Amino acid sequence: MFNRAYYILLLYSIFIYAFSYAFVLRSDQNTLQIIEVLDEPNSHISIIQDTVGNKFLVKQSKHVERKLGLVAEVVAAYIAYSIGLPVNSVYLIPSWVDIPGKSMQRKPATLHTFVPGRTLSRPGPYNFIHIQQLCYYYHPPEKRGLRRSIITHMSLHKDLPPIVAFDTFVGCSDRKRKNLMYDKETDTFYLIDLEKAFQSGLAKLACNRIHHMIHSNEHFTQKEIIGIRRYRETLALLINSFSPNKVCNMIDVVMYLSGFNWPTSTIDHSITEQYKKTFTKNYAEAQKLLHLLDKFIIKYER
């Protein structure tokens, strides 16, 4: 059980964030138009435009087992936004809000704002960057988590260490080049696509790699040490700002507001329960990771 006043405050803040665009679009749906429909393997995606030219992306999963990814994406985007990370805004469109672009009306969806730039999967000055924290059993241990190559790559730009720390914290192992954008005009990286959050224990894998580096005789450049410091600062901020209790309540609130858990719903609630269990374990490992990062910095700053 959680404090009633806290719950109401949390519900209000998520409500404002999750629905601010949804209600505006609903009230203006007669002037919205679909300008493009994208054929993606796992999602129904439409691009809609309002009367003043603002474009939005409407997204719904095609597969039952992936539908609750929208809960993870809304919560993770809120966390990133709250600490000032450059991320596209992701808003919940509940099952009872019907707007153009929803392929399955009476089902929840997410509304995404566009960010400038292009993905790293396309030609550009940073298209060699690879900061995806791998986590699957078929990857050898030295290739999982916060491996050396990620430390090297994230040291190349000030935006990257906080993004890597965020992925570690929320357990998002899907930071492929197509899910990271770079805007050359503003020299800014942007996070996109967070539906795989709360599914991986990346903090424990990071602990394993940092522990190995502490007890090895590797050489790290000054830029890499600065990158690790920025990574640690962001991780500490996330730990202090988003406790397991707070994040688990956020998941419950978004789940409820989406309409997934209404009496007629057949969605398997064990999925969001697993999100909460995974995050709680990952949070405990992230706390351990902070201490290991301190030891790492002390050793390699000498």
CA neighbor of 244 nearest in space, from 271, 275, 288, 268? 275
Compute the mean pLDDT over every residue in the chain, rounded to the nearest whole number.
87
189 domain-assigned: yes
Q: Check: CB of residue 258 under 8 Å from CB of residue 94.
A: yes
Residues 72 and 109 in one domain: yes
Residues 286 and 165 in one domain: yes
250 domain-assigned: no
Tens digit of each residue's pLDDT (9 = 90 or more) over 147-157: 999 999 999 99
129 domain-assigned: yes
CATH of the domain at 19: 3.30.200
Sign of CA dihedral 60, 61, 66, 67: positive
108 domain-assigned: yes
Which domain covers residue 89, as residue numbers? 4-115
Residues 165 and 290 in one domain: yes
Residues 65 and 133 in one domain: no
Question: Which residue(s) pair with 180 in the sheet?
Answer: 191
Residues 193 and 125 in one domain: yes
Residues 39 and 185 in one domain: no
Domain count, the chain: 2
Tens digit of each residue's pLDDT (9 = 90 or more) over 163-195: 999 999 999 999 999 999 999 999 999 999 999
Residues 29 and 108 in one domain: yes
Residues 110 and 126 in one domain: no
Number of other CB atoms surrounding residue 220 within 10 Å: 19
Q: Point out the domain boundary residue: 79, 97, 115.
A: 115
Q: Point out the domain boundary residue: 59, 90, 115.
A: 115
Residues 138 and 285 in one domain: yes
pTM of the complete model: 0.90
Q: Check: CB of residue 195 under 8 Å from CB of residue 72.
A: yes
The pLDDT value recorded for residue 155 is 97
Residues 175 and 107 in one domain: no
Tens digit of each residue's pLDDT (9 = 90 or more) over 119-146: 999 999 999 999 999 888 778 888 889 9
